[in-house]
Amino acid sequence: MTNTQRTRRTPYNCSFCSKNQDQVQRLIAGPGGVYICDECVDPASKGNGERSEEEGLRCSFCGKSRRQVQYLAGGPNGVHICSECIALCQEIIDEEQPPHRP
Ligand SMILES: [Zn+2]
Ligand SMILES: [Zn+2]
């Protein structure tokens, strides 16, 4: 019996762009298995993200409804992130980034 399969890390993928944790600098986890990577946080925060105007949608990260936040940015799989969670994710990313790059 051969068992040559490598033990794989659980593959975490960004819920918005589907990149896995090896393809991005940072993957931030939300509740219920939703993730957003640093690359998706960035454009969304600048207002270039796809905004969902549908009523009744909720942020997949904090559960707030569209009316409670400035905007909801939508992903391709029915996931959404609100302006507040984007700001929070940016803070996390900023804190983790070294002040000076070599
Ligand atoms: Zn992403
Ligand atoms: Zn949120």
Once rounded to an integer, what is the mean pLDDT over residues 10-33? 91
- The answer to whether position 72 is within a domain reads yes
More confident residue, 35 or 49: 35
Per-residue pLDDT for 2 more than 90?
no
Once rounded to an integer, what is the mean pLDDT over residues 27-42? 92
Which strand (E) or helix (H) includes residue 83? helix 83-96
Q: Give the closest ligand to the alpha carbon of residue 44.
A: 1
> Which residues in 58-78 are b (16+ Cβ under 10 Å) and which e?
ebbbeebebeebebbbbbeee
- The answer to whether position 42 is within a domain reads yes
Distance 62 CA to ligand 2 centre (A): 4
- The answer to whether position 6 is within a domain reads no
Question: What's the sign of the alpha-carbon dihedral 14, 11, 92, 62?
Answer: positive
* Lowest mean pLDDT across 19-23, 45-49, 53-57: 45-49
Q: 60 pLDDT band (50/70/90 cuts)?
A: very high
Number of domains in the chain: 1
Distance 86 CA to ligand 2 centre (A): 7
pLDDT, mean over the chain: 83
Per-residue pLDDT for 3 more than 90?
no
Give 20's contacts (C-beta < 8 A, 6+ positions apart): 11, 12, 13, 14, 27
- The answer to whether position 102 is within a domain reads no
- The answer to whether position 77 is within a domain reads yes
Q: Residue 77's domain spans which residues?
A: 12-96
Amino acid letter for position 13: N
